[in-house]
Amino acid sequence: MPWTIWLSLFAACVVISLTPGAGAINTMSNALVQGWRRSLWGVLGQQAALIVHIVIVAAGVGLLVSRSPLLFNAIRYLGAAYLVYLGIRLMLTRPQPPADDPDAVVGESRWSMFRRGFWVNLLNPKAVVFFLAFVPQFIRLDRDPLPQYVILIATVVVVDVIVMWFFFAAAAKSFRRFTRTVRGQRVLNLVFGGLFIAVAALLLFVH
């Protein structure tokens, strides 16, 4: 992949990653509840979903999803339902006794955070359609596609990890003081639960 194309890919990835969405909300929520270091597991789960999306597009399945209203809407409704479920569950979460260590582990397993991050990103059919329009711009058909896809996936994942972990998760650290009181935890749970539901509404009603 020529440097000029890669730099364009890099710039596009930065802009895309900085755009707030369900992944950013999930990352900030994890950082608030589990601490900045452990929030990485949710970020890694989101990257696994991004890789799946790119593979789906590369395999031609993405075109099938984009052209099938039934399949597209089925995934869209499932994704929205999952975000609503996460939002309601967060709103109903019982506040935990404040910990002395601001980065103390509250109890969710790494695998649970990874799995939730994976499903949050995977159940977004618009991501498939987006990558369907995004990927071909950086893949030259007159060259071996495998090295190009490897570079593309590596760039997308590295940029998104940096933005999610060092920007969104780090930004959430400034709100950690609210987790030291039961009232503060309850407010944060309501706010982030509401954000999950708002993103679900956007997924359903914004075309």
Give the predicted TM-score (pTM) of the model: 0.76
Query: Per residue in 4-40, pLDDT tens?
Result: 778 888 888 887 788 778 888 889 889 888 888 899 9
Looking at the domain assignment, is residue 144 inside a domain?
Answer: yes
Looking at the domain assignment, is residue 82 inside a domain?
Answer: yes
Asked if 12 and 163 touch (Cβ cutoff 8 Å), the reply is no
Looking at the domain assignment, is residue 14 inside a domain?
Answer: no
Query: Per residue in 60-116, pLDDT tens?
Result: 766 666 677 787 777 778 878 878 887 888 788 776 665 554 444 457 788 999 999
Looking at the domain assignment, is residue 180 inside a domain?
Answer: yes
Looking at the domain assignment, is residue 197 inside a domain?
Answer: yes
Q: What is the pLDDT of residue 16?
A: 79
Residue 198 confidence (pLDDT) above 70: yes
Looking at the domain assignment, is residue 47 inside a domain?
Answer: yes
Q: How far is Cα 65 from Cα 75, in angstroms, rounded to an integer?
A: 9
Range of the domain at 190: 21-205
Looking at the domain assignment, is residue 7 inside a domain?
Answer: no
Give the total number of structural domains in the chain.
Answer: 1
Instruction: Name the residue among 206, 15, 192, 204 with its Cα closest to residue 88.
Output: 192
Asked if 42 and 116 touch (Cβ cutoff 8 Å), the reply is yes
Q: 56: alpha, beta or left, given left = phi > 0 and alpha = psi -120 to 50?
A: alpha
Q: Return mean pLDDT, the chain.
A: 80
Asked if 76 and 126 touch (Cβ cutoff 8 Å), the reply is yes
